[in-house]
Amino acid sequence: MSSDDYRSFVDSLTARWSALERDWKSVVVGGVIVALIGALELQIPW
Q: DSSP readout, 6-38?
A: HHHHHHHHHHHHHHHHHHHHHHHHHHHHHHHHH
8 is a domain residue: yes
45 falls within a domain: no
- With respect to residue 46, please indicate whether it lies within any of the assigned structural domains: no
Cβ proximity of 37 and 44 under 8 Å? yes
4 in a domain, yes or no? yes
pLDDT of 35 above 80: yes
Domain membership flag for residue 2:
yes
Q: Based on the structure, what is the number of domains in the chain?
A: 1
**18 lies in which domain range?**
1-40
Residue 1 has pLDDT above 80, yes or no: no
Is the model's pTM score more than 0.75? no
- Residue 3, Cα to own-chain centre: how many angstroms? 30
Residue 29 to residues 1, 2, 32: CA-CA distances in angstroms? 40, 41, 5
Model confidence over 2-23: pLDDT tens digits?
677 888 888 898 988 888 888 8
**Rounded-to-integer distance, Cα 10 and Cα 23, Å:** 20
